[in-house]
């Protein structure tokens, strides 16, 4: 059962990740960069990649790293909100929807990622829905990793 962390205790989020016990570890390999493919060590992931025309590619068949990240971010954030709702015994609130949009932007000779999460929690009053979004931000590993680079938009059903 998921339990919300005790916020009365000082939790050091800057603790080195190598000092904490891993709850889950996975490995993926990239072959051929953006025009290649990625696969996981356990064989569950095997995705062909393609370079979109906006980045100078031919826009062929395949996913992009940004699409894979958007999917992972949306799924992780939705799970975090669901965990909070279950832990706090929220009433049924309909089908939760999270749409993740990831943007790759130029920054000199480097690139940055930003994201927007469009969240809909039908049948849940706005204050309670906002609480789930706020708590999701606090506990979602992807949200924490991208702190300050995600915009959260709560939509009425």
pLDDT digit string, tens, across residues 39-94: 999 999 999 999 999 999 999 999 999 999 999 999 999 999 999 999 988 877 67
Instruction: Choose among 141, 155, 153, 147: nearest CA to 73.
Output: 141
The structural domain count of the chain equals 2
pLDDT at 6 over 90: no
Q: Let me know if residue 79 belongs to a domain.
A: yes
Residues 41 and 55 reside in one and the same domain: yes
pLDDT at 3 over 70: no
Residue 156's pLDDT band (cuts 50, 70, 90): confident
Residues 75 and 140 reside in one and the same domain: yes
d(CA 51, CA 64): 7
CATH value at residue 152: 3.30.300.20
pLDDT value, residue 39: 98
pLDDT at 95 over 90: no
Q: Which domain holds residue 42?
A: 25-63
Residues 75 and 99 reside in one and the same domain: yes
What's the average model confidence in pLDDT over 33-37?
A: 96
Q: Let me know if residue 18 belongs to a domain.
A: no
Q: Let me know if residue 2 belongs to a domain.
A: no
Residues 40 and 72 reside in one and the same domain: no
């Amino acid at each position: 059962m998921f339990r919300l962390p005790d916020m009365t205790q000082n939790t050091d989020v800057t603790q080195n990740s190598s000092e904490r016990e891993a709850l889950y570890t996975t490995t993926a390999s990239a072959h051929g960069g953006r025009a290649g493919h990625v696969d996981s060590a356990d064989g569950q992931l095997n995705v062909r990649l393609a370079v979109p025309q906006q980045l100078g590619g031919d826009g062929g068949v395949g996913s992009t790293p940004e699409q894979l990240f958007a999917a992972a971010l949306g799924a992780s954030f939705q799970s975090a909100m669901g965990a909070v709702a279950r832990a706090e015994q929220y009433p049924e609130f309909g089908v939760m929807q999270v749409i993740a949009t990831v943007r790759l932007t130029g920054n000199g000779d480097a690139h940055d990622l930003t994201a927007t999460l469009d969240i809909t929690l039908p049948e849940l009053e706005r204050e309670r829905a906002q609480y789930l979004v706020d708590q999701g931000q606090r506990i979602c590993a992807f949200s924490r990793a991208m702190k300050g680079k995600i915009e959260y938009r709560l939509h009425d059903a």
